[in-house]
């Protein structure tokens, strides 16, 4: 009887070990990032990349933030003075409700010249949710 129970336990353990060993764990697929992340200039034209994490106000706000950061990058390469201003406004009513708004402004000064850049491409890193935008000076 002991021989049979030992053999049964051994067979069950052997099956369990074989089942666990047969499972393969695959490494996560590498993220293929676009080449322009490292070389944003294009054909001799100055380029910039803007990055924005997921935004509380959704995809549109995330895109606007990424574009603003790309323009800041281009402006900095041109020796532009960049000034970012954030305005926070809070309003309370007599009924006890309140609201808060945040406005962000980016001011670029280039000795009276306007900085014009065009969006070339958007890319989203699916692992982090970060949105990247590539812009090139026109």
- Report angle CA 111, 116, 118 to the nearest 5 degrees: 160
User: Does residue 6 belong to any structural domain of this protein?
Assistant: no
* 50 vs 43, more confident: 50
Q: Which long-range contacts (CB under 8 A, 24 or more apart) does 26-33 make?
A: 28/127, 31/125, 31/126, 31/127, 33/123, 33/125
Per-residue pLDDT tens for 85-117? 666 666 667 776 766 666 655 565 656 666 778
pLDDT at 58: 87
User: Does residue 27 belong to any structural domain of this protein?
Assistant: no
User: Does residue 110 belong to any structural domain of this protein?
Assistant: yes
User: Does residue 124 belong to any structural domain of this protein?
Assistant: yes
**What is the domain range of residue 127?**
35-93+100-137
User: Does residue 62 belong to any structural domain of this protein?
Assistant: yes
Examine the pLDDT at 47 and tell me if it is beyond 60: yes
User: Does residue 26 belong to any structural domain of this protein?
Assistant: no
Mean pLDDT for the stretch of residues 18-40: 74
User: Does residue 7 belong to any structural domain of this protein?
Assistant: no
Number of folded domains in the chain?
A: 1
User: Does residue 15 belong to any structural domain of this protein?
Assistant: no
Q: How much is the pTM?
A: 0.60
């Amino acid at each position: 009887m002991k021989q049979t129970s030992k053999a049964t336990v051994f067979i069950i353990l052997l099956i369990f070990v074989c089942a666990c060993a047969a499972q393969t764990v695959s490494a996560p697929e590498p993220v293929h990032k676009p080449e322009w992340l490292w070389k944003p200039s294009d054909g001799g034209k100055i380029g910039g990349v803007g990055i924005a994490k997921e935004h509380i106000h959704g995809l549109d706000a995330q895109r606007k933030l990424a574009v603003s950061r790309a323009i800041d990058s281009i402006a900095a390469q041109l020796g532009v003075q960049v000034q970012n201003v954030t305005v926070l406004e809070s309003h309370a009513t007599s009924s006890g409700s309140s609201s808060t708004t945040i406005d962000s402004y980016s001011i670029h000064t280039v000795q009276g010249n306007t900085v014009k850049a065009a969006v070339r491409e958007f890319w989203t890193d699916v692992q982090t949710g970060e949105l990247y935008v590539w812009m090139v000076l026109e």
